Amino acid sequence: MGNPWRGEVSLVVDGERRTMRLTLGALAELEDTLGSDSLVAMAERFESGRFGTRDVLAVIVAGLRGGGWDCTAPDLIAAEIEGGPVAAARAAAAVLARAFIPPGAEG
């Protein structure tokens, strides 16, 4: 299980539990991949529901890279994510939220 105090979220990829974390470098990479002009614009895109599967994939790739796994989008396209697309979208949303909101402040 990922450490929420570090902004971590766990995701099982091909049967192996991986840690996602949006470090500053991972956020910069994500911002570039999504073509966002700011972190706020990127977060608003997800909060408003204006995201697609490529966006979810980009967040997961950035999070996994920030968590220490040097993966690429093609690696994940061929991978089995436990829980399927719904679990992937939830994990992407969780890692984004944890990058900006301290644990315990969610609600």
Per-residue b or e along 9-48, where b marks 16 or more CB atoms closer than 10 Å to that residue's CB: bbbebeeeebbbbbbeebbebbbebbebeebeebbeebee
User: Is the whole-model pTM more than 0.85?
Assistant: yes
Cβ-based neighbour number of residue 84 at 10 Å: 9
Could you give the angle at the alpha carbon of 101 between the alpha carbons of 29 and 36, nearest 5°?
30
Each residue's pLDDT tens digit, 31-48: 898 888 887 787 787 778
Mean pLDDT of 58-76: 94
pLDDT of 105 > 60? The answer is: yes
Tokens of 97: 């939220």
Residue 9: per-residue pLDDT: 96
Across 33-37, 51-55, 68-72, 94-98, the highest mean pLDDT is recorded for 68-72
